[in-house]
């Protein structure tokens, strides 16, 4: 199951179990975020914040390099910056963050860190076999202005020089998040 499917299922569970599912609650207007894999709409009384970005071109890894996901598929709330690869939380809340990684080369384990305000909060690790993929999804409490991004791991110098596979609409290498509450 890929990262986007996991994210879509979690959103579906939240929507279907939400007391506001099926009602319009935003000051007489509807604000909808459609996840086509799920079907139902997410309706909320708070701002909708969601982003999904992927690599559409192969990206060679450097030392402590931020991964800039150049193809932005969704950026509701304009909180993901496609020029430096950082997500900046516009509001305080619990966010579901997800990332996936697929490396081109064979032979060594490659590590990518998910970083929150400069501190590693998760690590993605590819296997040493051809086309092994790694993904992580988990909720994180963020304050307004907190930043989250992906970078090459500082503990794995072996990641330097390897290449992340980029292919449009593949979600091989992706970074996404959604405000849950």
pLDDT in tens, 89-103: 999 999 999 999 888
Chain segment 57-75, per-residue pLDDT in tens? 888 888 888 999 999 999 9
Model confidence at 4, pLDDT cuts 50, 70, 90, reads very low
Q: What is the pLDDT of residue 129?
A: 64
Mean pLDDT for 145-159 is 82
| pLDDT above 90: residue 164 | no
Using CA atoms, how far apart are residues 53 and 71, in angstroms rounded to an integer? 5
Contact 91, 46 (CB under 8 A): yes
User: Within 10 A of 27 (CB to CB), how many other CB atoms are there?
Assistant: 7
The CATH architecture one would assign to domain 48-179 is Sandwich (2.60)
Bridge partners of residue 179, in order along the sequence: 95
CA distance 2 to 55: 15
Predicted confidence (pLDDT) at residue 18 exceeds the cutoff of 50: no
How far out from the chain centre does Cα 149 lie?
9
Residue 156 has pLDDT above 90, yes or no: no
- Residue 49 in tokens: 């914040």
Task: Say yes or no to pLDDT of 32 above 60.
Answer: no
> Would the pLDDT of 5 be above 80?
no
At residue 88 the predicted structure's pLDDT band, cuts being 50, 70 and 90, is very high
For residues 103-116, average pLDDT: 81
For 74-98, the DSSP string reads EEETS-EETTTTEEE-SS-EEEEEE
User: Is 119 a residue whose pLDDT tops 90?
Assistant: yes
User: Could you tell me the two tokens for 2?
Assistant: 């890929």
CA distance 120 to 66: 12
Question: Across-strand partners of 177?
Answer: 51, 97
Best CA proximity match to 48, nearest among 27, 70, 71, 32: 32
The pTM for the full model equals 0.72
Helix (H, G, I), strand (E, B) or coil at 44: coil
């Amino acid at each position: 199951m890929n990262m986007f499917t996991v994210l879509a299922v979690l959103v579906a569970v939240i929507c279907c179990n939400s007391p506001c599912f099926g009602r319009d609650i935003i000051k007489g207007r509807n604000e909808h975020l459609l996840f086509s894999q799920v079907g139902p709409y997410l309706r909320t009384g708070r701002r909708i914040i969601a982003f999904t970005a992927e690599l559409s071109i192969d990206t060679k890894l450097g030392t402590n390099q931020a991964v800039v996901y150049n193809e932005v598929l969704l950026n509701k709330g304009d909180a993901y910056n496609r020029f430096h690869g950082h997500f900046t939380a516009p509001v305080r809340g619990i966010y579901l963050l997800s990332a996936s990684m697929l490396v081109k080369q064979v032979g060594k384990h490659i590590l990518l860190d998910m970083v929150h305000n400069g501190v590693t909060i998760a690590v993605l690790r590819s296997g040493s076999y051809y086309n092994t993929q790694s993904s992580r999804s988990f909720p994180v409490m963020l304050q307004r202005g907190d930043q989250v991004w992906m970078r090459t791991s500082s503990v794995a110098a072996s990641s330097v020089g390897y290449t992340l596979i980029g292919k449009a609409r593949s979600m091989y290498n992706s970074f996404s998040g959604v405000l849950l509450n």
